[in-house]
Amino acid sequence: MIIKVILAFAITFIALWFLINRNTYKARAWKKIAMIIFTILAVIVVWFPNTSNTIAHKVGVGRGADLLLYLLALAFIFSTLSLYIKHKEDQRHIVILARRIALIEAKHQKNERLHSKKN
């Protein structure tokens, strides 16, 4: 039962937090911190496999492998949401750049027409 509450809260928190704070320095810092924590925990589980079973039993999951699967699902959601937001930001930047280029080219063509009429 505890794992259901933890997973539901984590999924909701990740989604809301990244939608609200998508490109702040804090969001980038937390991404790095989460990656470091994930790496440390992965190394611990590799070296001490029974640790995952112990933690799993404490949070209400039958096996450590199931707990790892749940955590990987959270990591996947986190990663997918992060990439989606980054993709949307990149699209917005491309649109802004395309508009600027179009305005510059239009201004350049207008100047060329004015110079060609004078000659």
> What phi and psi, each to the nearest 5 degrees, are found at residue 72?
-65, -35
Confidence at 104, pLDDT banded by 50, 70, 90: very high
In a domain? residue 51: yes
**For helices 2-20 and 49-59, what crossing angle results, to 10°?**
100
For residue 99, is it within any domain? no
Vertex 28: Cα angle to 9 and 2 (nearest 5): 15
The per-residue pLDDT for range 42-76, each reduced to its tens digit, is: 788 878 888 889 988 988 888 888 888 888 888 88
pLDDT band at 105 (very low <50, low <70, confident <90, very high): very high
Give the pair of three-digit tokens for residue 116: 């060609």
Give the pLDDT of residue 119: 63
Q: N- to C-terminal Cα distance for the chain?
A: 83
Q: What does the mean pLDDT of the chain come to?
A: 82
Q: Is 29 contained in some domain?
A: yes
Q: 65 in a domain, yes or no?
A: yes
| Inter-residue long-range contacts of 5-12, CB under 8 Å, 24+ positions, other chains counted | 6/59, 7/70, 7/74, 10/74, 11/74, 11/77
pLDDT value at residue 23:
62
pLDDT, position 95: 97
pLDDT of 22 higher than 90: no
Note down the domain range covering 29: 2-84
In a domain, 13, yes or no: yes
pLDDT band at 108 (very low <50, low <70, confident <90, very high): very high
Q: What's the structural domain count of the chain? A: 1
Rounded to two decimals, the pTM is 0.62
Q: Which residue has the tokens 């804090």?
A: 26
